[in-house]
Structure 1
Amino acid sequence: MTRRYGLIGTGHRAQLYIDALAGEWSDAGRLVALCDTNATRMAYYNTFDAAVHRPDRFAEMLTGIDALIVTTVDATHAGYVRAALDAGVDVVVEKPLTVDEDGCARIAAAAARSDARLIVTFNYRYSPRNSAVRELLASGRIGEVTAVHFEWLLDTIHGADYFRRWHREHDKSGGLLVHKSTHHFDLVNWWLGSSPATVFAQAGLRFYGPDGAGAGRADGDLFRPDLFADPRLKALYADAAHEDGYVRDQDVFSAGVTIDDTMSVLVRYANRAVLTYALNAYSPREGYRVAFTGTRGRIELEVSERAWASPDAALDPTAGKSEEETYERLTVQEHWKPAEEIEIMRGAGGHGGGDALLLDDVFRGPSRDPLARQAGWRDGIRSVLTGVAADRSARTGRPVHLTADGLGLQDG
């Protein structure tokens, strides 16, 4: 049976789901309702002749759908997710699930009393290289994992973008330790099959904002690309600004930035593994490195997603990329043996074919998957609370402890 979907939040993040329901997954569902504060954005996406609702009519929208897709500003997720679950409506929610401890508690309570299903769309789980790491760890080739070293680099195109948009305001996004790192913490939780127990962190705003090292640089104009030269972004934001006054692309060196751009985190897990994690939002290149040290060997994954931050990359994602300079390399080395490079099987489409696998799970239901890639509300809460705990630790200078199941903060 074709399911009836409603979507709330018609900004950039809605595109993936709307395209899916208009295309390859149209047999599995149809979009029958849209909800947003901005009529112009709803009209842009409404090629389905879907009913349109303002948030004050959200409850009415829920009566006519089987499942809700949530792609609103992060801080609003908890309210919409809870209302949908209480109405018996399934939920598909963009990461992060929510932004704070209170939101996690409200969602957990609603999920516990509801028969409806909640999916958090952690598409990085489905990326072939990350799935290959999960398979290697499960094989036991490096024994019990004792330590994880994880460094993520956001470049001066992608990283800077978080300091232009609403994400720059901590109360809306939870900061990058929640909004962005939720992906990374979820990967580690999933890779290890364990829950975070203790978190300690240091963080700061060192490059962006009016007092950052980047302010006043001679090349400052390179941080101000004309994103509205993109017709789609112009239609979604510039042409819609008269309704709500939202400025999509602010100066990354202006006042009003309340999130950090430089972060280091230590996490001890319930299984005694220790994670050392770093996130930097002004690197000259984009990519990540993760290494697992185990009792029998080591696994290393290195990924170069963009070799250098071409100013043109804001409008052309391929700028700064080349086959020679972008790569992914996965190796495993057991004790007393040379390192072995592992072939990564890639598919077509976003994230090496991972997006298509995710959308299959979302719209057609999970297939038999020994890697357990589909994420539920518990996974979403554990990744959010790792970031919330890190943010709190960075502000207080003290470690923060989570409950035994990773679903709450002990000193909250």
Structure 2
Amino acid sequence: MKKTKYVLVGAGDRGREMFAKPLADEWREAADFVGICDPNPVRAQFVSKECGGVPCYEDFDRMLGETEPDFVIVTTPDSLHHDYIIKAMEAGCNVISEKPMTTDVEKCRAILDAERRTGKKVIVTFNCRFDPYIVRIKQLLAEGTIGDILSVQMQWSLDTRHGADYFRRWHSSMAMSGGLLVHKSTHHFDMVNWWLDDEPEHVYADGGRYFYGPVREQRGERCLTCSYTDSCEFYMDIMKDRFKREFYVSGEPFDGYVRDKCVFSEEIDIYDTMSLSVKYGRGALLSYSLNAYSPYEGWKVTLVGTQGSLEAQATSDPLIDAGSHRFIHVFNQRKEHMTVKMKKVTGAHGGSDGLLRKMLFEQGGADPLRQMAGSWEGAMSLLIGASANLSIAERRRVDVKDQLI
């Protein structure tokens, strides 16, 4: 049986853990991992060594020409996704893109146009669609458990470990990531789009930066050279961690990428506090909020339909989400209450990463819940975030799909 050939562009930690190492190990019988492209030779060679010596390239076109892959996996910084996605399709390859598919309307339009022009396809890796807890919610909604959904309230909190990390690295630049409403919330918007089986119509949003950025005088350029390491609760000793030292610090001379930037830097221009309202095509309303400085990490959702409501939550705090199970609560109009009790699943992102890879790399299997997302699903999620950014900047309602015309 002929193996499917894959190459990876973007040798960051997500590309390394989610794709490179699994391709070289658990999926080596079905997949032929033939190339890694990254302008930073330290990171590219680090990943190559972990994967048994996969050839490294600094030139993307050369890699495509020499390896002739079936799929290009794109895990670069978000603002560069469109370049590699489009080049890959024009070279005759299908694409697997890390979320978000891209960062703004113009780049999204260019990807959709290239997909139509070339006949190749883009897969966007929304691992939330494979989380067993989130999948069970989808099943309950698809069965009509609460009738036609009219209202969704979703609250998402990032704690001061995970949340702060977005403000240390390239994600803190709106130009590179689209901000958290694109980079992070695209997961959450896709969940709601998938649960509702509907598409967004228009968006209102507001947001600000209140906790991170230049809110204190005692700050430096980065943790490594900061004068306030003894007093700052956000100090990260990048030299103490062998992986960060070898993967990031050793690579700095080649591209200047600093992994331990000060979370109070004046250069930060993304929001840390956001809220928005989305109107869907069939009338449902979504109220969504995200903050990046909560004492604990997790999410809560309430969906209300014509025949009842569904409530779910998941957090990483054992004081709130203790025990070995998670619960989904369903209430109907007769005041009856049903509880679905689910055992917690281990593994990266609640076991979803491994389940996503299984569907990706086995290929051709059944997909009754439409968990595999394509370019249009990628567009509908990122455009909620991009529209929210525009709404915040211009203080107006933004029509989502009108921007693609």
TM over 0.5: yes
Change in 2 beyond 3 A, CA 1:228/1:340? farther
Separation of aligned partners in 2, 1:242 and 1:213: 29
The residue aligned with 2:293 is: 282
Secondary structure at the aligned position of 1:153 is classed as strand
Secondary structure at the aligned position of 1:392 is classed as helix
Deviations 1:352-371 (A, max 9, x none): 32222100111111521221
The residue aligned with 2:322 is: 324
The residue aligned with 2:48 is: 46
One-letter amino acid of the structure 1 residue matched with residue 310 of structure 2:
I
> Is contact 1:205-1:212 (8 Å) kept?
no
**Structure 2, unaligned stretches of length 5 or more?**
221-227
Change in 2 beyond 3 A, CA 1:322/1:146? closer
Cα deviation for residue 52 of structure 1 reads 1.7
Secondary structure at the aligned position of 2:349 is classed as helix
Secondary structure at the aligned position of 2:274 is classed as strand
Cα deviation for residue 301 of structure 1 reads 0.6
Separation of aligned partners in 2, 1:197 and 1:112: 23
Cα deviation for residue 100 of structure 1 reads 0.6
Counterpart among 112, 117, 131 of residue 113 in structure 1: 117
Change in 2 beyond 3 A, CA 1:218/1:79? closer
Deviations 1:302-339 (A, max 9, x none): 111235xxxxxxxxxxxxx8973796321111111332
Separation of aligned partners in 2, 1:391 and 1:351: 27
- Is 2:96 aligned against 1:85? no
Cα deviation for residue 213 of structure 1 reads 11
Secondary structure at the aligned position of 2:201 is classed as strand
Change in 2 beyond 3 A, CA 1:299/1:7? same
> Is contact 1:346-1:353 (8 Å) kept?
no
The residue aligned with 1:35 is: 37
The residue aligned with 1:353 is: 351
The residue aligned with 2:146 is: 142
Separation of aligned partners in 1, 2:132 and 2:164: 27
One-letter amino acid of the structure 1 residue matched with residue 259 of structure 2:
R
Secondary structure at the aligned position of 1:266 is classed as strand
Secondary structure at the aligned position of 1:247 is classed as coil
Residues 285-364 of structure 1: pairs in structure 2 closer than 5 A: 285-307=296-318, 324=322, 328-364=326-362
One-letter amino acid of the structure 2 residue matched with residue 194 of structure 1:
D
Residues 45-84 of structure 1: pairs in structure 2 closer than 5 A: 45-47=47-49, 48-54=52-58, 57-63=59-65, 64=67, 65-84=69-88
The residue aligned with 1:198 is: 202
- Is 2:257 aligned against 1:242? no
Cα deviation for residue 26 of structure 1 reads 1.2
One-letter amino acid of the structure 2 residue matched with residue 361 of structure 1:
M
> Is contact 2:325-2:342 (8 Å) kept?
no
> Is contact 1:304-1:325 (8 Å) kept?
no
Secondary structure at the aligned position of 2:373 is classed as coil
Cα deviation for residue 261 of structure 1 reads 0.2
Q: RMSD in angstroms over aligned alpha carbons?
A: 2.2
Counterpart among 373, 381, 386 of residue 383 in structure 1: 381
Corresponding pairs, count: 392
One-letter amino acid of the structure 2 residue matched with residue 30 of structure 1:
D
> Is contact 2:97-2:124 (8 Å) kept?
yes
- Is 2:273 aligned against 1:273? no
Separation of aligned partners in 1, 2:218 and 2:191: 31
> Is contact 2:103-2:177 (8 Å) kept?
yes
Separation of aligned partners in 2, 1:211 and 1:325: 38
Deviations 1:90-130 (A, max 9, x none): 11111110001111011000111223221111001100111
Counterpart among 17, 22, 36 of residue 19 in structure 2: 17
> Is contact 2:324-2:343 (8 Å) kept?
no
TM-score, normalised with respect to structure 1 = 0.90
Change in 2 beyond 3 A, CA 1:61/1:224? same
> Is contact 1:118-1:376 (8 Å) kept?
yes
Separation of aligned partners in 1, 2:116 and 2:107: 14
Separation of aligned partners in 2, 1:37 and 1:322: 43
Q: Which moved more, 1:335-344 or 1:124-133?
A: 335-344
> Is contact 1:173-1:179 (8 Å) kept?
yes
TM-score, normalised with respect to structure 2 = 0.92
Counterpart among 188, 192, 204 of residue 188 in structure 1: 192
Separation of aligned partners in 1, 2:55 and 2:360: 22
Residues 201-212 of structure 1: pairs in structure 2 closer than 5 A: 201-211=205-215
